[in-house]
Amino acid sequence: MLQNVPYGYWQDLGRHSSGDQLCSILKVLIRQLGSKTAPLRSLAYTELLGLSRYHQKTPYTLISPYLRPISILLAENINRSLEMIADTVQFIGMTRQNFLETTLTHTLPALVLSRNNDALKQTASIVKKRLGVLLMDNIAHVLAQAFLHPDQTDSALNFLVGILQDMTSGTSRAQPNISVPSLMTACIVDLVVMLIVELGDLDKGIRKSARNALQKASNYQHKNQDVGSFLKPQMLGVISQLNDMLHDVQGKKTVEYKRKIIRSFGSLIKIAGDSMAGFSPQYLDEIVGLDDIPELDNAATQLTKQRKNAKIQIHITNVMDRAESKNVAIATASIRELKSLLVSRQSEIETLVRGDTFDPVMARVTTSLLSAVTRDSEGLELRDLSYECLGIIGALDPDRLGLKIDSGTMTIAANFTEQEESKDFALHLIRDLLVDAYRATNDTKHQTHLAYAMQELLKYCGFTPKILNPHEKFSSKIRDRWQSVPKDQLETLTPLLESRFSISDGPIRSYTHPIYAVAPTYREWLQQWTTDLIGKVMSMAGDGPSTRDSKIIFGAFRGVLKNQDVTVAHHILPHLVLNVLLSGLPNYRYEISSEINAVLQEQVNPTGPADKRTLSAQVIFDLMDHLSKWLRLFRMSKSDRTTQTRIVEDVLSSIETELMANAALQSKAYARALRSFEERIIQLRKDKRDNSELQTYFERLHQIYSELDEPDGMEGVSAFVVSPSLEHQIREHESTGRWTSAQSCWEVRLQQSPDDVTYHVGLLKCLRNLGHYGVLRRHPEWSKNLASFEAEAAWIIGDWDTVKQIGKAGPAIGQTLLALHEHQDLKAVLTDARRTLGASITSKQYASVYESILQLHLIREVEMIHNAKQDIEAKHSVDNRVPLIQKTTQDLINSLQSRFDLTSPTFRVREALLSIRRTAYSLINTPLLQPEIGDAWILTSKIARKAGYDQTAYSAVLQAEVIDAPFAFVQLAKLNRIHGGVYKPLADVDNALKPLLKKDVVTDSSGCRDFSWEKKLAKAVLLVAKWANETDRFESNQIIERYQDAIGRSENLNGTPEQISTTEEDQSAGGERQERFTNISSAMQSKRSERRNACQDVTNHASGKTPTAATLIKDASHFSSILLRFTDDKVDEKKRQMSINTDFPYVNATKTKMILPLQDALTCTLPTAADTVRSHNPFPYTPVTIAGE
């Protein structure tokens, strides 16, 4: 064919072809590789290489999508044209044997269909296996293709049976019964699965062939049998295999092939009928939102209606149950439903994040979203939706969120001496570690090693294939363990109950310690150390249950550690270290200590790569926490110290506290560093060291408190510092808002080290907080390290050319604001910005990723302001546009205020919000929202003043006055009130109010009455009344009139009635106070007779009034005597854990109505905002009582 076309013709066609067309061209060229003419073969080979280069693919990658038709073409010509086979496999870089072995599932069925016996024999010869073995190994594929080609089914099956019978006819043993039914029985599940998958093909003809094939297969098994009856016995295996294929357990499948499988489920349900009844609940249990399925609109409406009647907490909990599924598709759909829920029921969500403690369901939502974004999977949409949900929820205050940190692992308290605990640990490793790692990897070798580990641990737990039968007898503990495995994991674990994986043991390798010193990377260090520890476990002498069980459990991981993934190694390392410490040789303890010390020394005196240092330090910190936790649990369960506790204590004490403190500080693990430095100071004080010798440690504590944003801690430490360093003074100035003083200190530092970028960053922070944005903009040459400051300064002053020039080197929020300025399509920009920020969320610990979540919060607010602008513009043409626009505006303002209140109440966090809001408002240029810019400046001044940042507060109030923000004078007066008396601020506010009080009705830009303005006016009047009361220069009636004026202007103003009541004289003086039994209960048992007698007189007087009082007094007296006895009772000093029930039964037997005043119940909480003062409950905990028996 090639001789009739010009050179390069097929290559040109191939360049502009794809799919079936490209496949046809490749087949044409491959056929020419079998040409008798050498130049034609060379020309075809050259054009194939040209196509490979043009498509930028390797030859195998170019061929692989069309491997089935090409491999069949080669197999059919295997006898006629050996050159075609040789040149093709040379082109794709494989041997003949390797290529044919890889494509047997395609070639064998095709050769059986064409009844090409010679080609089958040649194929068997090349792959060096007997033909019968090849056919039986691939019998499911052969039978499936025979049934799917109805015109060739009978002839192909007769040919196949004939070949197999001929191969067994010469044997001396009894002839096996080879027939189509017997062959089907050997592979029935695989065969049925292949036919069912074809039911989901887009080609109508193939779907029809698949249905006919199932019917014909059913007839071969039992004539006139219904297909549903034929499928029913195989249904469990069929569904399990289809699930495995969807989860890439049987090799990675394309997205289109997975869609085909999902479509086949629909056809399967129709064909199987009632046979599906036993299996559908495991799928319907995880049905997600139906809103995106048009065919299920009616069901979705009913479901949504029912959910609206449920409490929002219940609805969220149900969604999160599905969102935590290991199935990426289910998790993605559930997070999408969560996003819709957060937006549609926003007002209800806001009630969950109000007050001093947020609803616990929000902690779960946050934890689940962080798990989703740190999930190791290809779920890009899942992460995008999770980033968006985190932004919608907002940067919740960590102190009010109440997140509980879960280590994700368990502690082996008994060191494998208790087999039930050991089995629980083995199941934990399977359920919480290995299954997820198995599903996540694409490395088949690593997957095999993980399968072996799970197989061995399943055996150790006592699980066999019989556990699948609910009627089989198993101990309740084994049955309970199996039932605790999540449903979605059963499809992975079930085949491993009868698998036969094995591993060859090599010699135990020895390592020179510390391994960290010679390992070039974090991964190699962690793998080598874990491998070394497993080797130590496997070489331990003895055959006791502890040694035997530890060898079984840890020995299962021998192959897993040789691969790239270190998740498994990181998880099991603390358990290995603890086991080796407690059961290993004494020199092992020294090796472990040296390893820990080597990592910590590297943090303090760095020499290697930063990523190796950071990751290794986290491993060591986790290890130390694990050992400390074990020690704590062991002490609680044992009455005295044992050899085991001393071993762990010795190892922990061998790590210098100062080394741990400095390493934690360098790793930015500030809480850990704080604890270690405090322990070091306590140690030195016990050694009679004077404070003057501890100055270095106090400086470190001061630095840590600064990083933790704890000004009280800084102030406390400063009392012990004799001569503060310049850095100490800088931290003091910045924590108290003295930015001008801090600026002077940074300038001194810059004079000493002008090339240190750290000092430039410090100076820029001061300038930014002082409002000197232009200075930052004029110095871009300082370096790209300052790009974030330069970009922030540029967008604040409106220099958008600079923001554009900085580009992605600056903060992601800058690109969002730039898109808003240039009227770009915001959706794509928001997605990119969220992905950029989300990439930095690598931990599930909320506090460590709070900054990234805050940035997602800011991006969401820019989106909200943009959406409000579009909504307002869209309503301008509507008849009743004024109330609609007002509602949109007020909804936005209220929502932003709620979001502001839920954040961490620190100036840094809240000023970031206000700064971005001011920029966004100025960009949208919507008249109705422009007053919010001034309000944002006023709010900045307010929070800065309350944080002690007087200079920042003054700068902000000046900015508010420049843009004529109403009532800015109030903040200015409050600032002046701090630094002077009340008279001048009072006069300033009073004079500023006089013209405002003469106005009748103030309207906003839409011409409607401005209620917000009136409320601010009422607050200003209230402030005047309050300050007037403080001066003692006004009559009471004048002050009360001012308060009443404030009430008249705003009846709902919080606090006004209370202020008036404190001003009026108390007319109820002289009223008798009610006797309180709790105040005198302690005196009832006094040893001093005069006290006891005085108390008796009081109680006798009270008892005579009501019978109830007499009962309470008697109860209080008895209860007090019991508590005194309980206090004086002697206890065993060696006993660390006691019980009232067993050790003090007389307390347990006491029945009383008295409240037991425990410390938690007596510790009050303060309101976080003024508007919650009335509703705030300072004692949220239920009072503790003893009910008795």
Token output for 432: 């919480």
pLDDT score of 626 more than 60: yes
Contact between 472 and 466 (Cβ < 8 Å): yes
Is residue 139 pLDDT above 70, yes or no?
yes
Res. 95 pLDDT band, cuts 50 70 90: confident
Both tokens of residue 1027? 């300050």
- Reported confidence tier of residue 394, pLDDT bands at 50, 70, 90: very high
Q: What is the mean pLDDT of residues 1073-1097?
A: 66
What distance in Å separates the CA atoms of residue 683 and residue 687, rounded to the nearest whole number?
A: 7
Cα 735 from Cα 730, distance rounded (Å): 9
Q: Phi and psi for 576 in degrees, rounded to 5?
A: -65, -45
User: What average pLDDT score do residues 982-1009 get?
Assistant: 76
Burial 52-87 (b: 16+ CB within 10 A, else e): beeeeeebeebbeebeeebbbbbbbbbeebeebbeb
d(CA 487, CA 478): 16
The model's pLDDT over 503-515, given as tens digits with 9 standing for 90+, comes to: 777 777 888 888 9
Angle of helix 610-637 relative to helix 643-653, nearest 10 degrees, comes to 150
Report the topology of domain 966-1063: 1.25.40
d(CA 815, CA 858): 12
Q: What are phi and psi of 605, to 5 degrees?
A: -120, 80
Share of the chain above pLDDT 90, in %: 9
Give the span between the Cα atoms of 439 and 435, in whole angstroms: 6
Query: Which of residues 803 and 569 earns the better pLDDT score?
Result: 569
Task: Indicate the helix (H) or strand (E) that contains 1042.
Answer: helix 1036-1049
- On average, the pLDDT of the chain sits at 80
| φ, ψ dihedrals at 453, nearest 5° | -60, -45
Q: How far apart are CA 927 and CA 78, in angstroms?
A: 80
For residue range 366-389, list pLDDT tens digits in order. 999 988 888 755 678 888 999 999
| Structural contact between residues 393 and 342, judged by C-beta atoms closer than 8 angstroms | yes
Angle of helix 204-221 relative to helix 139-148, nearest 10 degrees, comes to: 110
Averaged pLDDT for residues 1015-1034:
82
Handedness of CA 634, 635, 637, 642 (dihedral sign): positive
pLDDT at 926 over 80: yes
- Whether the predicted pLDDT of 37 surpasses 90: no
Amino acid 17: pLDDT: 76
**Sign, Cα dihedral of 706, 708, 712, 717:** negative
Q: At what angle do helices 38-54 and 19-32 cross, to 10 degrees?
A: 150
Parallel/antiparallel/unpaired status of strands 1184-1185 and 1155-1156: antiparallel
Are 232 and 241 in contact, with CB atoms under 8 Å apart?
no
* Residue found under tokens 């029935």: 188
What angle do helix axes 380-393 and 826-838 make, rounded to 10 degrees? 90
CB 794 within 8 A of CB 800: yes
Of 158-167, 385-394, 570-579, 996-1005, the range with the lowest mean pLDDT is: 996-1005
Q: Is the pLDDT reported for residue 783 higher than 60?
A: no
Question: Residue 699, exposed/middle/buried by CB under 10 A (0-12, 13-18, 19+)?
Answer: middle
470: phi > 0 → left, psi -120 to 50 → alpha, else beta; which?
A: alpha
Helix (H, G, I), strand (E, B) or coil at 778: coil
Condensed to tens digits (0 to 9), the pLDDT of residues 929-948 reads: 888 898 999 999 999 888 88
Single-letter residue type at 669: A
Report the range of poorest mean pLDDT among 116-125, 643-652, 859-868, 1086-1095.
1086-1095
Percentage of the chain exceeding pLDDT 70: 84
Query: Helix (H, G, I), strand (E, B), or coil: what is residue 204?
Result: helix
Q: Is the N-terminal amide bond of 176 cis, ω within 30° of 0? A: no
Instruction: Extract the tokens encoding 1104.
Output: 């005579």
Given a cut of 80, whether residue 1058 has pLDDT beyond it is no
Closest listed residue to residue 906, CA positions, set 694, 1181, 1163, 711: 711
Q: Which residue has the higher pLDDT, 360 or 328?
A: 360
Question: What are the pLDDT digits (tens) for 673-703?
Answer: 888 888 888 888 887 787 777 888 888 888 8
pLDDT band at 102 (very low <50, low <70, confident <90, very high): confident
Helices (H) and strands (E) in the chain, counts: 65, 2
| pLDDT given at position 566 | 79
Phi, psi for 459 (deg, rounded to 5): -65, -45
Highest mean pLDDT among 319-333, 731-745, 807-821, 1037-1051: 807-821
Per DSSP, the three-state class of 202 is coil
For residues 246 and 258, is the Cβ–Cβ distance under 8 A? Answer: yes
Long-range CB contacts (within 8 A, 24+) of 607-616: 609/521, 611/522, 612/521, 612/522, 612/525, 613/667, 614/667, 615/522, 616/516, 616/522, 616/525, 616/526
The pLDDT score that the predictor gives to residue 1184 is 53
Amino acid code (one letter) for 1093: N
Nearest alpha-carbon partner for 101 in 81, 121, 71: 71
User: Which residues, in sequence order, are bridge partners of residue 1009?
Assistant: 1003
What tens digit of pLDDT does each residue of 189-203 get?
A: 888 888 889 988 888
- The single-letter code of the amino acid at 662 is N
Determine the 3-state secondary structure of 1185 from DSSP.
strand
CA dist 522 → 332, 375, 570, 840 (Å)? 32, 21, 11, 20
Q: Which of 204-213, 804-813, 1029-1038 has the highest mean pLDDT?
A: 204-213
Above 70 in pLDDT, residue 11? no
Residue in the structure block whose two tokens are 């762990």: 648
Name residue 181's amino acid.
P
Residue 640 identity: D
Segment 39-46 shows an average pLDDT of: 82
Q: What pLDDT is attached to residue 1073?
A: 33
Q: Which DSSP letter does residue 1184 get?
A: E
d(CA 561, CA 568): 8
Average pLDDT over residues 1054-1063: 44
pLDDT in tens, 432-473: 888 877 876 766 677 788 888 999 999 999 888 888 877 778
Q: Which of 593-597, 751-755, 1096-1100 has the lowest mean pLDDT?
A: 751-755
| pTM of the full structure | 0.62
Boundaries of every domain in the chain: 187-284, 312-401, 419-500+515-655, 667-723, 724-759, 966-1063, 1080-1185
10 Å Cβ neighbour count for 988? Answer: 16
What is the mean predicted confidence (pLDDT) over 535-540? Answer: 89
**Which residue did the predictor score with more confidence, 1094 or 307?**
1094
pLDDT at 1059 over 60: no
Closest CA to 630 of 844, 421, 403: 421
Tokens at 1055, concatenated: 């606090």
**Residues pairing with 1003 in the sheet:** 1009
271-279, long-range: CB within 8 Å, 24+ apart, which pairs? 271/199, 271/211, 271/214, 271/227, 271/228, 271/231, 272/227, 272/228, 272/231, 272/232, 272/235, 273/228, 274/228, 275/228, 275/229, 275/231, 275/232, 275/235, 276/235, 278/235, 279/235, 279/236, 279/239
Q: How many Å apart are CA 249 and CA 490, to the nearest integer?
A: 13
* Amino acid letter, 697: Y
Range of lowest pLDDT (304-313, 1067-1076, 1133-1142): 1067-1076
Output the pLDDT for position 859: 93
pLDDT in tens, 113-131: 888 888 888 888 888 888 8
Question: What does the pLDDT read at residue 1066?
Answer: 36
In which band, very low, low, confident or very high, does the pLDDT at 884 lie, cut at 50, 70 and 90? Answer: confident
SS3 1155: strand
Query: What count of residues does the chain have?
Result: 1189
